[in-house]
Amino acid sequence: MDAPQNPATNNADTATAQAAGTPTRPDGSPCITQIDFARAGVITPAMRAVAEREHRDPEFIRAGVAAGRIAIPANVRHLAAGLKPAGVGAGLSTKVNVNLGISGDVADADVEWEKVATAERLGADAIMDLSNSGKTRFFRQELVKKTPLMVGTVPMYDAIGYMEKPLVKLTVDDLLEVTRAHAEDGVDFLTIHCGINKSVVKTFKETGRLMNIVSRGGSLLFGWMEVTGNENPFYEYYDEILKICHEYDVTISLGDSCRPGCLFDANDAVETAEMIELGKLAKRAWDAGVQVMIEGPGHMAINEIAANVELEKRLCHGAPYYVLGPLVTDIGVGYDHITAAIGGAISASAGADFLCYVTPAEHLCLPDADDVREGLIATKIAAHAADIAKGVPHARDVDDRMGDARRRLAWDEMWNYALDADTARARYEASPASTEGTCTMCGKMCAVRTVNKVFEGTTIDLDAE
């Protein structure tokens, strides 16, 4: 467990926490979660690690966690197993998530482990295990044990296989049991589709949509609600979910069941109705000592993205925004890592905090390791570009180092600054230039080389070969 260490010296609550010994919550129970400690005025080792990574004062991180503007998804069991804590939220670098997992049609764990290795090598911040077929617990447990990255899951995906029951036979107890199993396994954040309650479903039916519901978890719960006639169990028994999350310090990622699946449905009545519910649920989670992220928004035209981010921040009280895409056109099939990266850069520069990558396989098939690489690099470009625009501390430093290396035509140094050094080097070496130090785009007419020679006072040799 991430025990308190070196309490903040510039917070009025710190002296009280120190005098009392073990920090406690307002009800007298011991602090467990990062938000518990933050509100007790205590800076935990996880907060210090995030502060160091983000070039921020530890008190900045503590205050952000206490207010709910920053989440540090860090299950106490994953921390004990070697998690490297990362912060998601206001004033921090934009984080990137990689989805992977075993499906019913492609159930090859070795391929998924190759994807894990790719994600770690290329600098992902989180991995979501979206396995949805058979007994997935062993893979999830091994993932938590082996990766230092944040791990997220969606218990609803796992419920049918875990309980060995058809969807409509699942009970409230079944869903709570699956949720607890994921928390016990050390998962750092759980996507829980709590917002699609009967009120939101009524809005959905009354207003209609071109693409209906495209969230997998949302569609399963909608189907369950329609067949049984009951309220969404994750909404009705939300307090029980929060107790589980608090026990292990699992961040609840409030799922966007009604995110738009096409541009036509973007920012419509049902998406907004669900976001209003998510804002209410966020406050209840914070009151229970549970950290929160909000998910959204799927497909959305470029000119609507900034308003969507602003609306989420207002309705959800500044909670970190975790976005899929947004995909800025519906016709980029086969290239949706590009459509999503465009939207991701815009949404993050407008204030979104966490980007879920999209691969070239989106809408088509389960991605392979190459798809993971392409999707991750595209999303990291989007996140980094947004961080430069937002003025995240030191975000542009590596770009300036790259510029200096390019001026000096220091190719080996350039690879150190590239997001995907292997691909960059391979392309350069596959097409060797006849003039040393240049590439085959310009050769002797390389502008950088020419200006360097001018300043060096050497001959500019541009005679025809």
- The share of the chain scoring above pLDDT 90, in percent, equals 86
pLDDT digits (tens, 9 = 90+) for 372-403: 999 999 999 999 999 999 999 999 999 999 99
Q: How far apart, in whole angstroms, are the C-alpha atoms of residue 370 and residue 346?
A: 25
> Which has the higher per-residue pLDDT, 13 or 303?
303
pLDDT exceeds cutoff 60 at 20: no
Q: Which two tokens stand for residue 424?
A: 């960059």
pLDDT digits (tens, 9 = 90+) for 159-176: 988 888 899 999 999 999
> Which has the higher per-residue pLDDT, 421 or 163?
421
Domain ranges of the chain: 12-67, 88-390, 397-456
Q: Which two tokens stand for residue 296?
A: 């959204």
pLDDT digits (tens, 9 = 90+) for 52-61: 999 999 999 9
Q: How high is the pLDDT of residue 161? A: 82
In the CATH scheme, what is the homologous superfamily, with its name and number, of domain 88-390?
Answer: Radical SAM ThiC family, central domain (3.20.20.540)
Look at strands 70-71 and 88-89 and give their pairing: antiparallel
Q: How high is the pLDDT of residue 105? A: 66
Per-position b or e across 105-135, b if 16+ CB within 10 A of its CB? eeeeeebbbbbbebbeebebbbbbbbbbbee
- 329 SS3 class: coil
pLDDT digits (tens, 9 = 90+) for 80-126: 999 999 999 999 999 999 999 877 666 678 899 999 999 999 999 99
pLDDT exceeds cutoff 90 at 355: yes
- pLDDT tier at 9, thresholds 50, 70, 90: very low
Neighbours of 63 (CB within 10 A): 19
Q: How high is the pLDDT of residue 132? A: 76
